[in-house]
Amino acid sequence: MQESASPIVHLFVGTHKTGTTSIRWMLDFYADLFTHYGYHIPRKGWTHYIDNVYNGGHNNVAWEIAAGRPIIPEYGGLTDLVQEIRGMPDRQHIVFSEDFDHVRPQHMAKLKEAFSDFDVHVIIFIRNQADWLAAYYAEAQKWFHQDNFDAWFASQFEADHRLDLHALCQLWADSFDAITIRPYEQIKSRVFDAFLKCCHAPAEMRDALTSRALPMVNPTPGDFPLELIRHTSGIAKRENVPSAYYARFGMPVALLAAQRLDLYFQKRSPLTEETAKILFAFMQEKNRLLADRFGLALGPEYLHPSLPVSRPEVSPPIDMDHLAESVMAICCDMTTDLSLRLRKVVNQYQGPDHAPVIDELTRIVDLLYPWPQTDEAAGHLLNELLANILGLPASGLCLESNAEGGVALYLVEGCTREVRKMDKDEWASLMRVIYQRALMNVTVMDFPKEGCLVLDQEGKISAFRVLSTSSGTGTVSFIKPRSPDWGL
């Protein structure tokens, strides 16, 4: 147990892209083990899942201080955190959020006042600005941001105060006496252990925790996965797939595809000579002040930055458009199928006895469902696509498979009229085209509706089946190819 007259608070204040995701996972997973050694990870102010994506850390506190975004009341805020720390004066407390790096001078008074009764030790991990910008830009590409680097750099360089590492560290040093600064380049192979050492953790505790350390979480992707993300996110936008769905399913599958192809980490610096000239002059000035003020042994990447030697770009023999289409088609197909199966369970077991389970299943269905459930956001009607392929009017146009291949026919007043015969090769070719497009579309309609590809749910005539679920606007019907005997 610690012997300070005031509770000790180890306050980690960033910066982003310095191994922080791995650290907060460890703090969350092994909070009980920290307690065993006299440390405490306060629960108040610590967020968990936000928009169904893990975002652990005392982010509510950072957001409340810096007014970066609204706090989430259920997790508690600054006042709750202070009360929790005061209630355990014999512990060393770890307060952690990379979003503290957004704190400006006008925000600091509130935090200083709240922590005035504590013995605060500030911890800052820094990263050279050239690599930090490249990593931050790569992170932005994951979330539907598709500006080119030069345009992004121009706006970031003018607006992001965190690039001035000297001013950032000086702000925290002026506010709290004890401060520890670690360059990421010197600790990146042992980030979690370095963090524990900054918290003055005993050797036994460091050994116990680092032996359980997770692999690097959220590493910065290289050129190929970022390009694949740009392609897949473009498809998602085009097809009205919500950004939250893409971030939850499309982006991870794109990153996994890059890993499986062994193309995840290959990267070139996005800096051009023009941007480098501006950035490097700034780095040399500010980082020299940083090194002198805090006695830091900064490497040449801080004090004498240079562009890496350019390497010829090696383009893998991969059709990026085709790969991106496949990634999104697989995601949408699998999650739509799962959501429909779960929806069937939800509809079957409605009632007060199953209400908690049904509510949770409904939430999962909403997460899995890749399409906005509104008329305005509905996808294109598949029969319009079919009409364009066959060169026939769309209304009432349907398909029927048979032993020879298939036929196109019209449904008119309940009767069918054959208009085009296809052999097996023609039929298989048509099915492949429609299959790819069908996975990317949903139609909001009254079911059944004349003019769509589907005649009935059994698929006795149509090449498609419809699985439907009710919504506020009527019936949302999912159109999906019937796969048996297609030769796909």
Q: Could you tell me which residues are beta bridge partners of residue 40?
A: 93
Q: How does pLDDT run across 72-123, given as a tens digit for each residue?
A: 999 999 999 999 999 999 999 999 999 999 999 999 999 999 999 999 999 9
* CA gap 245, 370 in Å, rounded: 6
pLDDT at 469 over 80: no
Name the average pLDDT for the chain.
Answer: 78
- At residue 230, the pLDDT reads 84
The answer to whether 305 and 313 are in contact (CB under 8 A) is no
pLDDT at 444 over 60: no
Looking at the chain, the whole-number percentage of residues with pLDDT higher than 70 is: 74
Helices in 239-381 by DSSP H: which ranges?
243-245, 251-260, 273-294, 300-303, 320-348, 355-368
* CA gap 389, 366 in Å, rounded: 33
Q: Could you tell me which residues are beta bridge partners of residue 299?
A: none
The answer to whether 106 and 66 are in contact (CB under 8 A) is no
The answer to whether 222 and 231 are in contact (CB under 8 A) is no
Structure tokens at 274: 């023009």
Chain CA centroid to CA 98, Å: 16
- At residue 480, the pLDDT reads 42
Whole-number Cα distances in Å, 167 to 171, 255, 312: 6, 35, 38
Looking at the chain, the whole-number percentage of residues with pLDDT higher than 90 is: 35
The values of phi and psi at residue 418, to 5°, are -70, 135
- At residue 205, the pLDDT reads 93
For residues 417 and 46, the model is more confident at 46
Confidence of residue 49 (pLDDT cuts 50, 70, 90): confident
Structure tokens at 298: 């900064």
* CA gap 190, 211 in Å, rounded: 11
Q: How does pLDDT run across 261-285, given as a tens digit for each residue?
A: 877 777 777 888 899 999 999 999 9
Confidence of residue 50 (pLDDT cuts 50, 70, 90): confident
What is the dihedral sign for C-alpha 430, 436, 439, 444?
negative
Average pLDDT over residues 29-38: 91
Q: How does pLDDT run across 179-198, given as a tens digit for each residue?
A: 999 999 999 888 999 999 99
What is the dihedral sign for C-alpha 78, 82, 83, 85?
positive
Q: How does pLDDT run across 213-263, given as a tens digit for each residue?
A: 665 556 677 778 888 888 888 888 877 788 888 888 888 888 888 888 877
Comparing C-alpha atoms, which of 23, 20, 71 is closest to residue 44? 71
The model carries a pTM of 0.65
Q: How does pLDDT run across 292-348, given as a tens digit for each residue?
A: 999 999 999 999 999 876 655 555 578 888 888 888 888 877 787 677 677 777 777
- At residue 85, the pLDDT reads 97
- At residue 477, the pLDDT reads 38
The answer to whether 228 and 327 are in contact (CB under 8 A) is yes
Residue ranges per structural domain of the chain: 8-128+149-218, 373-488
Q: How does pLDDT run across 381-431, given as a tens digit for each residue?
A: 445 556 666 666 656 666 666 778 777 777 666 566 778 888 887 777 776
